[in-house]
Structure 1
């Protein structure tokens, strides 16, 4: 039974990894950053009660599910970028998408650290404010 479980897990894992263009440092780092961001967001809401995602700042399952849905869409964009690379014979679209989402996750991790009360250098908070302003939709 143990061998069947291990073999099945390996087959499923390799299929998923191949869909995303293989398991490389970029994907591993993106998933690591996503996990750190998710759990630091849980800490901000659950421990510090300082979340900007809820009215009370406390932990809320709906906000958590929204975050997981966003992270799932991020991975779907990586899958789409890999398929685009295959379709047009390039090898940089997926890497560009992965790097962009890694930067986004890193910004969110730094924001969570700030919400936890960790003092951040002024240049870092200024850079995050500028990036957030540029990402807001123009009205």
Structure 2
């Protein structure tokens, strides 16, 4: 019996494994009881690997740091400078669209070279870098001191993107 330290719930982890229900397969991909969840992560997004785990973690971090930024300092997303539901909705839609692009990259991998993950890995790497830069930019906007190299990288990427 596995007891979680942060709640009063106990999971019969050893019983689930003995009954043939596994949480991870041989490749380390998550296998859940919910078929839609399993289909979504294992097939559509190419499996739960270090690329997808990193991307999802950075997406969550970006959302949290964005909320902190809007609470600590004046946001440029609204007239009042406060937390804006519309901009949060747009950000959430963008995150979902990033996952759609990852799904398309996975599909392209399967069509071009079955069993390959090259296009998906490059696509995920691009969005991982993009999310990491967004986190760094938001942390810097909150007034947290960062090494100057972070500011140079963010500034050079902004110039490439917008000008």
Q: TM-score range by the shorter chain?
A: 0.7 to 0.9
Q: Where in structure 2 are the equivalents of 1:1-139 lying within 5 Å?
A: 10-17=34-41, 18-45=43-70, 47-89=71-113, 90-136=116-162
> Which structure has the larger Rg?
2
Higher relative contact order (CA 8 A, sep 6+): 1
Structure number with higher helix proportion: 1
Name the count of aligned residue pairs. Answer: 130
| Cα-Cα RMSD | 1.7
- Structure 1 residue runs of 5 or longer lacking an equivalent are 1-7
Distance 1:99 1:9, change over 3 A: same
| Unmatched runs of 5 consecutive residues or more in structure 2 | 1-31
Contact 2:133 2:154 in 1 (8 A): yes
- Contact 1:49-1:59 within 8 A present in 2 as well: no
Q: Does the 8 A contact of 2:73 with 2:142 survive in 1?
A: no
2:72 alignment partner, SS class: coil
